[in-house]
Amino acid sequence: MITLQDIQTAAQRLSGHVLNTPCVESQTLSQITGAQIYLKFENLQFTASFKERGACNKLSTLDLSRCQGVVAMSAGNHAQGVAHHAARLGLRAVIVMPQFTPGVKVENTRRLGAEVVLHGDTLDAARSHALELAAQQNLTLVHPYDDALIVAGQGTVGLEMLQAVPELDTLVIAVGGGGLIGGIATAAKAIKPSIRIVGVQAQRFPAMFNAIKGSTHPQGASTIAEGIAVGTPGVLPQQIIRSLVDDMLLVDEGDIEQAIVMLLEIEKTLVEGAGAAGLAAVLKHPEMFTGQKVGLVLCGGNIDPLLLSSIIERGMVRAGRLARIRVGARDVPGSLARITAIVSEAGANINEVQHQRAFTLLAAQNVDIELVIQARGHDHVAQVLAALRVQGFEAQAV
């Protein structure tokens, strides 16, 4: 187990090398959730993640005259943290990443000077290969979460949050291997024993949740929150969680997507799936946090642009701002013009139009016209459909 002193020592090592990121209230999210929400912007770190805290603390303790280099396994954020601080210290860094790691994280890690090895489909497979490389090339392993120095470095997030907002009642922290919540819980409970710590895992990767709760939720193959897609929870973090963490929650993919879009739209801040997990939990379980001062860590902002585009579009569909409607009409000149005019007069914009003649149960002289429209919300979509029906068209949402 680590101590508050270990974390305070880590904070001294990190000084001047890692940002003390803002921890401020989001008034809009507070209104939406019924809790007083404070956001810790770890996505503003140089590598856009808290992970460089642990990496900096660990690497700062190495004997640079004897160390031949370091090796780490990572889904991306730990990789970039190790690469950045290894380059700063003049150390060779080899990073083993699962082969389906988002391209933005792979390229950023290479750009920071590390040698990247893509191996295996999971973090566990990458870990096995990293251990082999460590033995073959006499490299020092920098574990992403099962290392006391790494956990202590991550714990500096908790120190800073309580320095900025001492009155916090609850901290809601994303959990993968458990290094972040282990460090934060150690610091926060030592400073303020009454504070409540809640961990959040992705429904598809519930390894730590199962270990702590004794449940048997199945593990999936992938998640939008790849930063916390850990199949084997850390031994040290698990001990800390059992001792200091008050509760664990699961969130599904839709919850995480919604939180990403809300943070982008409301706070104008970009987070990856893991960075949105805390907000996703508060949105899913508002009754657990109503009236409390709640601290959330936006723990990472490294997200693939194509994935982000898909998430935004799916979010617009859920909000009714993007909708697909089907209109049945006579297949005669002028029908499409009438339909588009009605949609326009109802205040909606048309993104896509598709005629469907073969794959339909309508009479042969009729046609299904599918429209993708931009609207103001679900009520507005209903108004568009009603306007079409008034003019004699069969219209429904798809």
Element containing residue 324 per DSSP (H, E): strand 322-330
Residue 352 makes CB contacts below 8 A (sequence gap 6+) with 370, 371, 372
Q: Using a CB cutoff of 8 Å and minimum separation of 24, what contacts does 376-382 make?
A: 376/320, 376/321, 376/347, 377/319, 377/320, 377/321, 378/319, 378/320, 379/320, 380/320, 380/346, 380/347, 380/348, 381/320, 381/323, 381/325, 381/348
Question: Do 204 and 333 belong together in one domain?
Answer: no
Element containing residue 168 per DSSP (H, E): none
Supply the pLDDT for residue 101. Answer: 80
Question: Do 226 and 135 belong together in one domain?
Answer: no
Q: Which phi and psi (to 5°) does residue 162 adopt?
A: -80, -25
User: Distance between CA atoms of 12 and 14, rounded to whole angstroms?
Assistant: 5
Question: Do 287 and 170 belong together in one domain?
Answer: yes
Supply the pLDDT for residue 363. Answer: 59
- Structural domain for 362, as ranges: 320-397
Supply the pLDDT for residue 358. Answer: 61
Boundary residue ending a domain (263, 292, 315): 315
Question: Do 231 and 163 belong together in one domain?
Answer: yes
Ordered per-residue pLDDT tens for the chain, 398 residues: 899 999 999 999 999 999 999 999 999 999 999 999 999 999 999 999 999 999 999 999 999 888 999 999 987 899 999 999 999 999 999 999 988 887 878 888 999 999 999 998 887 788 899 999 999 999 999 999 999 999 999 999 999 999 999 999 999 999 999 999 999 999 999 999 999 999 999 999 999 999 999 999 999 988 999 889 888 889 999 999 999 999 999 999 999 999 999 999 999 999 999 999 999 999 999 999 999 999 999 999 999 888 999 999 999 999 999 999 999 888 888 889 999 999 999 999 999 998 876 656 555 567 889 999 999 999 999 999 999 999 999 999 98
What's the DSSP call for residue 44? G
Instruction: Determine contact, residues 123/77, Cβ cutoff 8 Å.
Output: no
Residue 396 makes CB contacts below 8 A (sequence gap 6+) with 325, 326, 385
Side-chain half-sphere CA neighbours of 76 within 13 A: 27
Give the CATH number, domain containing residue 62.
3.40.50.1100
Supply the pLDDT for residue 364. Answer: 56
What's the DSSP call for residue 144? S
Boundary residue ending a domain (283, 315, 347): 315
Give the CATH number, domain containing residue 379.
3.30.70.260
Amino acid at position 105, single letter: K
Residues listed for the chain: 398
Question: Do 263 and 392 belong together in one domain?
Answer: no
Residue 360 makes CB contacts below 8 A (sequence gap 6+) with 366, 367, 368
Residue 300 tokens read as 């990472």
Supply the pLDDT for residue 8. Answer: 98
Question: Do 379 and 353 belong together in one domain?
Answer: yes
Question: Do 301 and 208 belong together in one domain?
Answer: yes
Question: Do 186 and 290 belong together in one domain?
Answer: yes
Q: For the whole model, what pTM was predicted?
A: 0.90
User: Distance between CA atoms of 216 and 380, rounded to whole angstroms?
Assistant: 43
Question: Do 376 and 390 belong together in one domain?
Answer: yes
Boundary residue ending a domain (315, 336, 368): 315
